[in-house]
Amino acid sequence: MRVSLFAPWRVSKESEGLSSIKLTAPGFKVTDSIVKNIKTFTINVTDDKPNNDFYYTITGNCLNAKRWFNITAD
């Protein structure tokens, strides 16, 4: 998941707002990094997670969202 700032009506598109944006996925470890104006989230999946649908939420100084992702065997 990648999040970037987009505000064409603002002359200054500041990246300070990215630090307030959080992604949570219950039962999973989530890591993030910010490079320039893009914040990247990684949901770490371990072998003990069953094949199933799971959800994550994005909250903070942004449009909040709830989305689903699927884990399937290779």
DSSP annotation of 27 reads T
**Does the pLDDT value for residue 13 go beyond 60?**
no
Q: Is the confidence at residue 15, as pLDDT, over 60? A: no
Q: What is the pTM of this model?
A: 0.76
DSSP three-state, residue 70: strand
Q: Is 46 left (phi over 0), alpha (psi -120 to 50) or beta?
A: beta
Structure tokens at 74: 């290779």
Q: What is the mean pLDDT of residues 15-40?
A: 86
Q: Is residue 27 over pLDDT 90?
A: yes
Query: For the segment 33-59, what is each residue's pLDDT rounded down to a tens digit?
Result: 988 778 889 999 888 888 999 999 999
